[in-house]
């Protein structure tokens, strides 16, 4: 922590200039920006330092902001939270230095042989390899606190209003969830693309199997037996791709509500809802409602790392820095969490996208 001289009457700008003059090179714009941008450039230390070591706020005030982020936690995450809960994560140790993640997909070569002698000569094998890449982008939102608001809070003993911090954290979480489901896009709605490589979600996954679903089956008067048959057909498509589960079915909020209807409307006393009947299918772990799922889509996903995982460089964290004049405390809520949707060398995917026609 800094020795906080602000209570002695010195201005924030004075402190900024003094700190800059003590840096190599003296009074330069980069040195004056140091408390924030040096922290951004520093990597996350194992002891929790790194980004946070140069926080400009007093420790107790910064703790309030951190606590607000923790309270929000994984709010607004459904599919993304499921990926991480299943342990399907790939951790980056130096995330700010990585702009793309590359991996290879290789075909299956040869086969086992049956011999009477262990010295029998086997077949020489050389797999074909295809490279794939994923852009490692940042998901951010920001807010600021002016010095008068902070000083007033300190003077009268009122807690800082953390509603904006929580809102920004939810916004970052929502963007992560949206990318996992619908793919990463730019602010104008175009696919995020770096050097020709995109970051698709499960709805627009490359090589995903597809299944047409009947509107009359999934609408406000759902037909349980027909929905069951549709989901069974989606499972068959994935099994044809040699993807045998475990599966999870993701639907939007409207369809999720319909699935709570009676499975057998002619005999409701049986007590099973459509969702409960679907849950009895072998290999189907859960039926999950995700509010960012498109209205006309139902997606079945095999929850294994060769189908989907979450590349994690940094979970949502508040990164603080001061303005040049010292009168504003900027806070960047930043996450490096990128869903990676994969298919194999033979263009087989563990995702089936059902479309309600």
The predicted-structure confidence for 317-351, as pLDDT tens digits, reads as follows: 878 788 887 788 888 888 999 999 999 888 999 99
Buried b (16+ CB within 10 A) or exposed e, 241-273: bebebebbbbbbeebbebbebbbeeeeeeeebb
Cis peptide bond N-terminal to 246, omega within 30: yes
Residue 269: inside a domain: yes
Residue 121: inside a domain: no
* CATH number of the domain that residue 227 is part of: 3.30.2320.10
Residue 279: inside a domain: yes
pLDDT at 112: 82
Residue 284: inside a domain: yes
Residue 51: inside a domain: no
Q: What's the domain range around 233?
A: 209-308+344-356
pLDDT at 252: 93
Nearest-angstrom CA–CA distance, 157 and 155:
6
Residue 189: inside a domain: no
Q: Which residue has the tokens 């922590």?
A: 1
Residue 137: inside a domain: no
pLDDT at 31: 52
pLDDT at 357: 76
Nearest-angstrom CA–CA distance, 346 and 328:
54
Query: In this structure, what token pair is assigned to residue 113?
Result: 């042989």
Q: How many domains does the chain have?
A: 1
The answer to whether the beta carbons of residues 274 and 222 sit under 8 Å apart is yes
pLDDT at 202: 96
pLDDT tens readout for residues 14-54: 554 555 556 666 555 455 444 444 434 443 343 344 444 44
In the chain (357 residues long), the average pLDDT of successive 10-residue segments reads 42 51 57 45 41 47 56 72 93 90 83 84 80 94 81 65 75 92 92 92 95 85 91 96 95 93 75 91 94 93 96 86 81 91 92 92
Residue 110: inside a domain: no
Contacts of 319 (CB under 8 A, 6+ apart): 36, 39, 40, 51, 52, 331, 332, 333, 334
pLDDT at 268: 60
pLDDT at 71: 58
pLDDT averaged over the chain? 80
């Amino acid at each position: 922590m800094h020795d906080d001289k602000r209570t002695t009457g010195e201005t924030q700008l004075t402190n900024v200039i003094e700190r800059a003059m003590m840096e190599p090179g003296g009074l330069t714009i980069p040195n004056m920006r140091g408390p924030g941008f040096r922290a951004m450039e520093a990597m996350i230390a194992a002891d929790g330092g790194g980004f946070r070591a140069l926080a400009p706020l007093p420790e107790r005030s910064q703790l309030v902001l951190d606590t607000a982020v923790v309270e929000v936690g994984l709010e607004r995450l459904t599919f993304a939270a499921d990926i991480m809960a299943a342990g399907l994560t790939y951790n980056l140790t130096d995330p700010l230095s990585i702009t793309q993640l590359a991996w290879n997909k290789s075909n299956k070569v040869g086969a086992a042989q049956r011999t009477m002698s262990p010295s029998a000569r086997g077949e020489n094998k050389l797999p074909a390899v295809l490279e794939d890449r994923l852009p490692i982008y940042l998901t951010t939102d920001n807010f600021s606190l002016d010095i008068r608001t902070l000083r007033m809070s300190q003077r009268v003993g009122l807690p800082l209003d953390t509603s904006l911090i929580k809102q920004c954290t939810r916004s970052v979480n929502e963007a992560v969830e949206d990318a996992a489901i619908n793919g990463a896009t730019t602010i104008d709605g175009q696919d995020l693309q770096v050097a020709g490589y995109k970051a698709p979600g499960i709805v627009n996954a490359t090589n995903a199997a597809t299944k047409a679903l009947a509107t009359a089956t999934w609408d406000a008067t759902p037909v349980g037996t027909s929905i069951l048959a549709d989901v069974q057909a989606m499972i068959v498509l994935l099994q044809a791709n040699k993807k045998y589960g475990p599966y999870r079915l993701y639907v939007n909020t409207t369809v999720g509500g319909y699935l709570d209807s009676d499975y057998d409307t002619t005999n409701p006393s049986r007590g099973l809802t459509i969702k409960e009947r679907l849950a009895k299918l072998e290999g189907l772990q859960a039926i999950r409602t995700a509010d960012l799922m498109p209205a006309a889509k139902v997606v079945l996903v095999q929850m294994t790392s060769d189908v989907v995982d979450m590349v994690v460089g940094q979970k949502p964290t508040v990164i603080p820095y001061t303005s040049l004049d010292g009168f504003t405390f900027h806070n960047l809520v930043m996450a490096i969490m990128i869903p990676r949707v994969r298919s194999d060398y033979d263009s087989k995917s563990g995702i089936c996208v059902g479309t309600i026609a």
